[in-house]
Structure 1
Amino acid sequence: MKPPFVFLESLPGGGPIPSNGAGSPSSCCGVLKPPSLSPTPAVEDTLVELDFFQESFPSEKKSGEFLLEFDNEEILHVDWEKKQNVWRLPDFQRFTSFEVQGALANIAVMKNNMEVLMKRSNRTRALNVAPSATVYPENAVELGDPNVLICFVDRFSPPVLNVTWLKNNEVVSEGVEETDFYPSVDNTFRKFSYLPFVPEQGDISGGENKIPVRNIGSSKLPSSAPYPWKL
């Protein structure tokens, strides 16, 4: 039996993306630092708010996101199309609440900013940044014991990416879950995809980073790169 594989695909026509000067989507971040009390070591916590809006061409598909993170863990994000909160863990809403209209207003501001920047830049597209990916099991692998394969995709931009799991050359979708787009420290993005599986002797899993080859100035993005994982 052939093992599962994961494929990553950055969708073509990802721009133009409004630029903050580094070719990345407009974003808003906040950092909260508690006061340092000597001699207790300083403790640093971070609260990150991510807002972006983008439009793909020539499809003219539009997407936006509002996300809150605390210490690199998602609290919630707002589904722009459904106009509702999506809590990373359902129990979070037992302890706090969030007004979705505030997030939608922020996204509307991003949309307006993008339209202004598109006109000022003569519709210049932001450069695509190819992702890196790692595939690994959630727990120590034991034959016959249910486990989860995790595909961690990092440092890509813009936030337009498909993750597809394959087994025996067929798409595997049952049980697959994935996170929303998370911000990375360098203004790129990261994402997780999860595939439940039962390990069998000889299983080999891996991934291929499928990026449509396209001219960017005088260079091209790589077409593929393997990410093997073996039992």
Structure 2
Amino acid sequence: SGHTCNEHACSRRVHAQRVCVCLLCPPVPHPLSVPAEPSLHTLSEVLFCQPDTPTLGLSVAFDSEQLFSFDVPNSQWLPQLPDGPSWPAGIEQPHELLHDTSLCQELLDLLTSIATGPLPMPEAKGIPVADVFLQQPLQLGYPNTLVCMVGNIFPPAITIRWQRNGIPVTDGVTHLTYIPAEDLGFMRFSYLAVTPRSGDVYACIVTRERDNISVVAYWVPQDPIPSDVLATAVCGAVTALGILLALLGLGLLLSARRRGMWGQWRQQGRPPHTH
């Protein structure tokens, strides 16, 4: 597989927003011979800096799957999955990222002065799109996890809050870091531990503080039909349909025989016998 990247490259869309997103290329060994085939996979390391919170973000992804994110306050790499492998030793340690973060901030200051100069550039903003769904099949009264998937995030500065029946919920909430998308936007996931019950109304509220814009996605548990009840209902419906078709076929058969007898009587010129 090949790797395609543009080192320390920022898009025009990012310039206009005072957010610098840099695509950094980790060193990749070159094979002795390069096969003439298209690139199948992309290993990307995305670094962003901005005046909003978080001011700095860094992640490593393979194609569209995020593998690692950098915990800036604690200066350590974290795997995307809790039980995932740790960051390889000897590869881009935290102290080696100082140059990249300094360069990102310098580019941000430069591009901000250009974007707010005599010819100001319009801001590029994405309206977040949220979707809420269960992680496991619904069973009322049993523990489960609600997932709030937020896409089209730009800049990466949103807050996610949960509500149950209009009341804020903070227990059992887990927020993941921002995940870069192919369109230079971002995605983010939030999880809520729940025990669904009939009549509950859950809400995932996504807010962009700078513009005071909020997007709300709702989820209401729908009581599923038990499998035995569903099987009984389907069996009854099929049986009723079979009886109806049998009666219809018998009626058509009797009607056809009756018409045939009337035709014979007419040809013979005598009326049918009546009892």
- Fold equivalence (TM over 0.5): yes
* Relative contact order higher in (CA < 8 Å, ≥ 6 apart): 1
- TM superposition shift of 1:228: 2.7
Q: Secondary structure at the match of 1:45?
A: coil
1:53 corresponds to which residue?
49
Q: Structure 1: where are the runs of 5+ without partners? A: 1-17, 215-220
User: Given the two structures, how large is their TM-score scaled by the length of structure 2?
Assistant: 0.61
1:5 corresponds to which residue?
none
1:17-28 matched pairs, under 5 angstroms = 20-23=11-14, 25-28=20-23
1:63 corresponds to which residue?
55
Contact in 2 for aligned 1:20/1:26 (Cα 8 Å): yes
1:7 corresponds to which residue?
none
1:1-231 matched pairs, under 5 angstroms = 20-23=11-14, 25-28=20-23, 44-56=40-52, 63-88=55-80, 89-93=82-86, 96-97=88-89, 98=91, 99-122=93-116, 126-211=123-208, 223-231=213-221
Q: Distance in 2 between matches of 1:171 and 1:226?
A: 13
Contact in 2 for aligned 1:19/1:126 (Cα 8 Å): no
Q: Report Cα offsets for 1:61-96 as digits up to 9, x if no partner.
A: 661111111232222211223322222235411x72
Q: Report Cα offsets for 1:104-138 as digits up to 9, x if no partner.
A: 33122101111111223336573321100100000
- Farther-moved stretch of structure 1 (169-178 vs 140-149): 169-178
- TM superposition shift of 1:170: 3.0
- TM superposition shift of 1:203: 2.5
Contact in 2 for aligned 1:65/1:107 (Cα 8 Å): no
Q: Distance in 2 between matches of 1:112 and 1:195?
A: 38
User: Given the two structures, how large is their TM-score scaled by the length of structure 1?
Assistant: 0.72
Contact in 2 for aligned 1:78/1:103 (Cα 8 Å): no
Instruction: Identify, as 1 or 2, the structure richer in strand.
Output: 1
Q: Which amino acid in 1 is paired with 2:178?
A: F
- TM superposition shift of 1:139: 0.6
Q: Secondary structure at the match of 2:137?
A: coil
Contact in 2 for aligned 1:143/1:201 (Cα 8 Å): yes
- TM superposition shift of 1:208: 4.6
Q: Report Cα offsets for 1:158-201 as digits up to 9, x if no partner.
A: 00010001224332111211111111111111000000000112
CA 1:213–1:82 in 2, change beyond 3 Å: closer, same or farther?
Answer: closer
CA 1:209–1:52 in 2, change beyond 3 Å: closer, same or farther?
Answer: closer
CA 1:126–1:104 in 2, change beyond 3 Å: closer, same or farther?
Answer: farther
Q: Secondary structure at the match of 1:154?
A: strand
Q: Secondary structure at the match of 2:61?
A: strand
CA 1:137–1:186 in 2, change beyond 3 Å: closer, same or farther?
Answer: same
Task: Quote the sequence identity (%).
Answer: 21
